[in-house]
Chain A
Amino acid sequence: MLEIKNLHVKLEEEDKQILKGVNLSVEAGKVHAIMGPNGSGKSTLSYVLSGRDGYEVTDGSATLDGDDLLALEPEERAAAGLFLAFQYPVEIPGVGNMTFLRTAVNAQRKARGEEEMSAADFLKEVRTRAKALKIDAEMLKRPVNVGFSGGEKKRNEILQMAMLEPKMCILDETDSGLDVDAMKLVSDGVNALRDEGRGFLVITHYQRLLDHIKPDVVHIMADGRIIKTGGPELALEVEQNGYADILSEVQ
């Protein structure tokens, strides 16, 4: 589904190479996790895939079901089925959460040539989805993420993911800033979306999120490359021994 080949990325503003040849393939129905120390390029990978400004791809490719992601605008990538759950969801004063969700859902449908969702259907859908994530009516009415706690923001990301029903979900340190209960709630939300047609790429520092969202494949990223790939046991190894062993093993 998601195919990343030899991806090289540098910062646009300075001559600093961040990704130095990433190769990764996420199949439909699978959950891949990327772990790695700070500064290894994990978040950059998620931003480059979703189309954020400020990065220059110097080599390599990234495709989603054969579509060249890197040639698409961010909104086109979203309509093609890519979703990024932000590490730091953005506050947007003046835009109601419901308006935001409905605009996004219908914009994607329009881009795909599908019929827009009616107000009634949308409302029904959003209420059901929100309830499962313990998002109340008040939170839906408020401006996007404004005054939300860390946990509320992350739940709101998962609500967007649920409403948009993407093919490929990237979760960028979704566990950061979450307490145990919030982590469980968010993980349940993610697990509920797991299905055969959908791929996940879960970026995290810690193994604990992977206790809740069980990965099929774990990758270790360091210095802009994936240096080791294994099963869930690899995450446990990191948890016990840190990254040092793996890093020295590779070097």
Chain B
Amino acid sequence: MALAERRISATEARIAGLELPRGGWTEAARQDALARLRAMGLPERRDEYWRFTRPDTLSQAETPRAALFKPEETEIFSDLDRLKIVFVDGVFDAAQSDDLSLEGVTIERLADASVTDIHWARDLYGTLEARGQVPVQRPFAALNTAFATDGLMIHVIGKPSKPISLVYVHDSETSDAILHHVVKVEPGAEVTLLENGPAAARFNKCMEIDVADGGKLHLIRSQGRDHERRAVTHLFARLGEESVFKAFTLTVNGVLTRNEAFVELTGDDATVHVAGACVGDGDFHHDDTVFITHDAVNCESRQVFKKVLRNGATGVFQGKILVKEGAQKTDGYQISQSLLLDGDSQFLAKPELEIYADDVACSHGSTSGAIDEEALFYLRSRGVPAGAATDLLTLAFLAEAVDEIEDPDLAADIVSRLESWLARRR
């Protein structure tokens, strides 16, 4: 069979069991996305963008089984005053969720919102995703736009008093969830979004984000400890003048995670920070793939990714800063680092810069290393036992990523999860 045909048949096999919701304002966008998906086909291992991460278990028709995991510790973010919205295996759970009303924001379910013909999200749903298909294809995102069964349409018009917290519960060993959120932050509005939980045995999530002039969005997520879960997630964000988008992701375990972010800085003086801390061992495979486009003057972007890998785990980072012609005074920073706690683990990194403006400051760095023996001895010579000293140095390694979280309570919650992970491995 020709290669192209094989890709086509694999794609058709994947979508054969999925249903494209009909009617309402999303149908046209879904049909367009399906056409995009068919034109691209699902990724194969030979594809350059998937060189370091095998896409087969994400694209195959059958969902790989993932055992359920009930952690003993309290759920992250559960101590916060928040608006909680729960999805179980990708299905909205009204009984476990708070009332969706909160001052300064309107929140609707995609499943409800899409039955009407006119909706504010119409200009965004699938639009930002489609923009993100160039210059690199992201077929799982197109699949998501076409077949998403639910999600949230979050319209931020003010400054809600508390964060909106999306909780993804994994309750079936073979669940295959596809969620699509759209977030629109109006000029001057500001919100914090939280996401946590494994979501499903296999999770495909897409979030399209439009931050208007002067708007601010903080996104903090924690991807859940179920070791056998798989996830492919996409963030597509477009930022207006003087807007701010800061995202932080904690990943603890999970056999396969591919987190993509595609961000366009389209208004002058905008800021985007995308950060992540991940810790894993064994067959843990974690991939951060980030593409940031500077298309306006005096914008700042930061990518800070730290990975702690042990016992054969794999970390991947593919990060790009594209500075378009005219995007002067760009300040771009990219760092990806791994701490390999043993000789079996590996880190694969592909940092890229592509610059078409002459007055920019861009830096990137990628390192891979072990615990600093000098520092370890120094700590031990002061009485700190070897295990505790290693943990302290591991947390120190992760600190630059965690420091990207502005809210100290959220940062403390994230750090406590990292500490527990380390403590469980003593």
Interface residues of A (CB under 8 A from B): 50-53, 73-75, 77-79, 83-84, 86, 89-95, 99-100, 103-105, 107-108, 111, 143, 160, 164
Contact = CB atoms under 8 A, between A and B. Distances in A.
A84 B384 contact: no
Interface string B344-381: 00000000000000000000000000001111011111
Nearest to A52: B377
B388 A103 contact: yes
B17 interface: no
A97 to B, nearest CB: 12
Contact of B396 (A52, A83, A93, A108): A93
A50 B382 CA distance: 10
Given A52-B377, A90-B375, A92-B378, A107 B396 contact: no
Interface of B: 372-375, 377-386, 388-389, 392-393, 395-400
Given A74-B380, A75-B384, 18 more contacts: A75-B382, A75-B385, A75-B389, A78-B380, A78-B381, A83-B381, A86-B381, A90-B377, A93-B396, A94-B396, A94-B397, A94-B399, A95-B392, A95-B395, A104-B383, A107-B384, A108-B383, A160-B382
B385 A107 contact: yes
B240 to A, nearest CB: 34
Given A107-B383, A107-B384, A95 B393 contact: yes
Residue from the set B377, B381, B386, B395 with the largest chain A CB neighbour count within 10 Å: B381
17 contacts: A53-B373, A75-B385, A75-B389, A78-B382, A83-B381, A84-B381, A90-B372, A90-B377, A92-B379, A95-B393, A104-B379, A104-B383, A104-B384, A108-B383, A160-B382, A164-B382, A164-B383
A164 B388 CA distance: 18
A100 B379 contact: yes
B199 to A, nearest CB: 31
Given A92-B375, A107-B385, A107-B388, A75 B396 contact: no
A228 to B, nearest CB: 29
B374 A103 contact: no
A51 B388 CA distance: 17
Contact of A103 (B373, B381, B392, B397): B392
A95 B396 contact: yes
A53 B377 contact: yes
A79 B384 CA distance: 9
Contacts of A92: 372, 375, 378-379, 393, 396
Given A94-B399, A95-B393, A75 B383 contact: yes
A111 B398 CA distance: 28
Main secondary structure of the interface of B (DSSP, over half): helix
Nearest to A94: B396
Residue from the set B374, B380, B382 with the largest chain A CB neighbour count within 10 Å: B382
Contact of B380 (A73, A83, A86, A164): A73
A80 to B, nearest CB: 9
Contacts of B375: 90-92
A79 B400 CA distance: 31
Contacts of B392: 95, 99-100, 103
Contacts of B383: 75, 78-79, 104-105, 107-108, 111, 164
A75 B386 contact: yes
A143 B373 CA distance: 17
Contacts of B372: 90, 92
Contacts of A108: 382-383
Contact of A51 (B381, B395, B400): B381
Contacts of A89: 378
Contacts of A104: 379, 382-384
A105 B397 CA distance: 22
Contacts of A90: 372, 374-375, 377-378
Residue from the set A83, A103, A143 with the largest chain B CB neighbour count within 10 Å: A103
Contacts of A86: 378, 381
Contacts of A91: 375
Nearest to A82: B381
Nearest to B378: A90
A94 B386 contact: no
A74 B378 CA distance: 9
Residue from the set B373, B380, B400 with the largest chain A CB neighbour count within 10 Å: B380
A79 B398 CA distance: 28
Contacts of A84: 381
A92 B383 CA distance: 16
B396 A103 contact: no
Contacts of B381: 50-52, 74-75, 77-78, 83-84, 86
B384 A103 contact: yes
A149 to B, nearest CB: 18
Nearest to B373: A53
A59 B134 CA distance: 69
A78 B381 CA distance: 6
List of 5 A-B pairs having minimum Cβ-Cβ separation, nearest first: A94-B396, A78-B383, A108-B383, A94-B399, A104-B382
B396 A74 contact: no
A45 B375 CA distance: 20
B385 to A, nearest CB: 5
A100 B388 CA distance: 11
A75 B389 CA distance: 10
Residue from the set B386, B392, B395, B398 with the largest chain A CB neighbour count within 10 Å: B392
A210 to B, nearest CB: 24
Contacts of B393: 92, 94-95
Residue from the set B373, B378, B395 with the largest chain A CB neighbour count within 10 Å: B378
Contacts of B400: 94
A29 B417 CA distance: 47
B378 to A, nearest CB: 4
Contacts of A50: 381
B378 A73 contact: no
A203 to B, nearest CB: 15
Residue from the set A53, A78, A90, A94 with the largest chain B CB neighbour count within 10 Å: A94
